[in-house]
A and B are shown apart, each in its own frame.
Chain A
Amino acid sequence: MTTHAHTAERLTADDWSGGTFPYHIGHKKLGMWLFIVSDALTFSALLIGYSYVRVSSDQWATPFAFSPSILFSTSMTLCLLASSFTMVMAVAASARRDRRKARRWIGATMLGGLTFLALHIYEWLHLIEEGLRPFGLAQGSAFAKEWTERWPQASPLFGATFFAITGLHMFHVLTGVIYLGYIALRIRRKTHEDVEISGLYWHFVDLVWMFVFPLIYLLSVDFHPAVH
């Protein structure tokens, strides 16, 4: 409910003596920051859980060949990074009160997010087709044959951690795209702060991926890909 009147009124001399915004940011932005902190902890807990399971396993499958798997996920990363950049441009445009441009940049951001989603879903489908399941592998699939040969002791939790963490992240991306779409649609009625807050959320989603990508993908690179 932060309005400019409200913001201006509360900017008095001493930050902490009441009647002011101590951080010089409105409610919504502070709320979004707090939400980001708590959501970051959810992801941390999941990633730590993944590391815990991986460390305590006899063996961990490392099935992602450098080409094409890693290159594919790298391109997903690039999508997300680029969308982060366009988001920052959208915020900058909205700061200049250039709402038309802001809307365009938000559109570009959504495009980046949607591309990421499409690539990600394609990857999921591919992996499922190969035989990866939330628990273990599909009987008689391509993966099942390869894995029993190469990682006989492998923990069946590979798929579980992969789908759980990337799934939750995908859910966040999807939410972010919808959120941005809402902001872009109603940008005429939205203040700069609203745009900025949606940007915060989007960058946070990007930030999480900066940890998911190395921990889930890059640490599971197949060093000796089987010759098919």
Chain B
Amino acid sequence: MSTRFASLGNLVKKQDLILNAVCLLFAAAFVVMALSNVRRAGNFFSIDSLFFTLVSLMLAGIFMIIPLMWAYETGLLRNLFAAEGDDAVGEAVPVHFEGTTKLFLSILGFLLLLTVIEVFLAYIQVPLALMLTILIGLSLIKAALILAYFMHLRYERMSLVYTLIPMLVICICLLFIFFPDSFRIFNLRNYR
């Protein structure tokens, strides 16, 4: 902000400060709520208790976003991030396709290996629940390999990964909320 528009800058600064203070206050209040819930709940690992704690913490988190963003903007947090170096991945590893045929072959080999393991599991007849867990786990690894190497996500900017993957994962996780209902319907059907 230039000197000429300094007063406007001050105004904005004041707004920011007030906003941050209010948000911090709310966030603190919600954290206190969560903590008191933890303290007072007889059985912390009940659904009620976990749920209220989580929701309180989530609301606290939402309120924390503004101050955090402000802190990041103003440079308070920048060093923290700089240590990680979000440009390290993108810039330090210049990719040369011609040199990595071996890499792609080994990825392919790995994918084939995982597939064979999956099929082998089907052959030795693992119980369904265990089978499902292992299969999902292996499939996620395979998906990650394809994304990272075949689709070159590993060599893209990390910001692209941060943009694409969380929104997909959040949505897919949300779809899992359908399942309580399917279990309910199963129970209804089997009500004798």
Contact = CB atoms under 8 A, between A and B. Distances in A.
**Quick check: do A and B touch in the complex, using CB within 8 A?**
yes
Interface of A: 15, 22-25, 33-34, 37, 40-41, 44-45, 48, 51-53, 55-58, 66, 70-71, 74, 77-78, 81-82, 84-85, 87-89, 91-93, 95-96, 196, 199-200, 203-204, 206-207, 210-211, 213-215, 218-219, 221, 223
B132 A203 contact: no
Interface stretch (B8-16, B31-39, B75-83, B159-167): B159-167
B139 interface: yes
B104 interface: yes
A80 to B, nearest CB: 10
B146 A218 contact: no
Q: Is the interface of A mostly helix, strand, loop or mixed?
A: helix
B58 interface: no
B163 A55 contact: no
Given A56-B183, A85-B108, A203-B146, A66 B160 contact: no
A71 B90 CA distance: 41
Contact of A56 (B122, B150, B189): B189
A24 B95 CA distance: 14
A96 B98 CA distance: 7
Which 10 residue pairs spanning A and B have beta carbons closest together? A92-B97, A214-B135, A56-B185, A56-B182, A95-B97, A55-B182, A23-B160, A52-B182, A85-B108, A48-B175
A60 B122 CA distance: 17
B178 A214 contact: no
Contacts of B97: 91-93, 95-96
A25 B160 contact: yes
Interface string B103-137: 01101100110010011011101001001100110
Contacts of B100: 92
Contacts of A23: 156-157, 159-160, 163
A197 to B, nearest CB: 11
B93 interface: no
B132 A84 contact: no
B147 to A, nearest CB: 7
B169 to A, nearest CB: 10
A206 B159 CA distance: 24
B56 to A, nearest CB: 29
B151 A41 contact: no
B2 interface: no
